[in-house]
């Protein structure tokens, strides 16, 4: 390894899909530390699977904040997300 041995490579600092699913609600609520928030944002930007889940959570959260009924698409995505948690712990294939 070249460079400073105590510095981790960038890819070693990335957050994985399973961790994203565990921390997503706290992230959306602004309850994560700055480093975790940056890693979450980077992961969500590049991972379509997690990004779609984040969009669904955000849509539901915004609908609840408005005290309105979420649209049918959001409800269906929430059901599908719940089913994916039951089937494979929320992680995408190969993650």
- The one-digit pLDDT tens for each residue of the chain (95 residues) are 455 444 444 444 578 899 999 999 999 999 999 999 999 999 999 999 999 999 998 988 888 787 666 677 877 888 888 888 878 754 544 44
- Residue of 33, 72, 42 lying closest to 56 (CA atoms): 72
| pTM of the shown model | 0.56
Do 85 and 91 touch, CB atoms closer than 8 A? no
List, in order, residues 6 or more apart from 60 with CB less than 8 Å away: 70, 74, 78
């Amino acid at each position: 390894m070249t460079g400073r041995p105590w510095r981790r490579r960038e890819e070693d600092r990335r957050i994985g899909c399973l961790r994203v699913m565990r921390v997503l609600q706290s992230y959306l609520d602004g309850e994560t530390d700055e480093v975790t928030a940056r890693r979450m944002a980077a992961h969500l930007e590049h991972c379509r699977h997690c990004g779609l889940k984040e969009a669904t959570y955000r849509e539901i959260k915004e609908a609840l904040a408005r005290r309105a009924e979420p649209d049918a698409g959001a409800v269906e995505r929430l059901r599908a997300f719940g089913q994916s948690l039951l089937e494979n712990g929320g992680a995408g294939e190969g993650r």
